[in-house]
């Protein structure tokens, strides 16, 4: 997160994507997915660039197509939060989860 300060300080037109899945997905998949210690408290991620001194950044947790258009134009730095389902996982991650008993017993 500290690097965002440097991006702002140097005036770089960065594009940052934050994937917000509400917690530690890979840890969820290694045991009971519902264990509460893998939940992360809700944060106002889109306010982070401003809090870190970045001026005039485009920040959004809104509609993705519009965000991609703005970011693609390249005129301003962009900070785009993408909220996914808490349990949305790649096929490979799901294979790990499905075989967790075998892995732990190995």
> Is 5 near ligand TPP (CB under 6 A)?
no
Of 78, 70, 68, the closest CA to residue 7 belongs to 78
> Is 39 near ligand TPP (CB under 6 A)?
no
- Provide, rounded to whole angstroms, the least separation between the CB of residue 99 and ligand TPP: 17
Cα distances from 96 to residues 29, 88, 90, in angstroms, run 7, 14, 10
Cβ closest to ligand TPP, residue 61 vs residue 70: 61
Rounded distance between C-alpha atoms, residue 41 and residue 36, angstroms: 11
Q: Do 17 and 24 form a contact (C-beta atoms < 8 A)? A: no
> Is 21 near ligand TPP (CB under 6 A)?
yes
DSSP code, position 75: S
- Provide, rounded to whole angstroms, the least separation between the CB of residue 89 and ligand TPP: 8
- Provide, rounded to whole angstroms, the least separation between the CB of residue 26 and ligand TPP: 4
Q: Which residues bind ligand TPP (CB under 6 A)?
A: 21, 24-27
């Amino acid at each position: 997160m500290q690097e965002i300060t440097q991006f702002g300080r140097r005036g770089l037109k960065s594009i940052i994507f934050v994937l917000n899945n509400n917690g530690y997905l890979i840890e969820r998949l290694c045991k009971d997915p519902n264990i509460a210690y893998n939940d992360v408290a809700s944060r106002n991620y889109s306010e982070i660039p401003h809090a870190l001194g970045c001026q005039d950044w485009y920040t959004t947790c809104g509609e993705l197509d519009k965000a991609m258009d703005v970011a693609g134009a390249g005129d301003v730095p962009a900070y785009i939060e993408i909220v996914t389902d808490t349990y949305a996982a790649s096929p490979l991650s799901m294979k790990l989860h499905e075989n967790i008993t075998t892995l732990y017993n190995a």
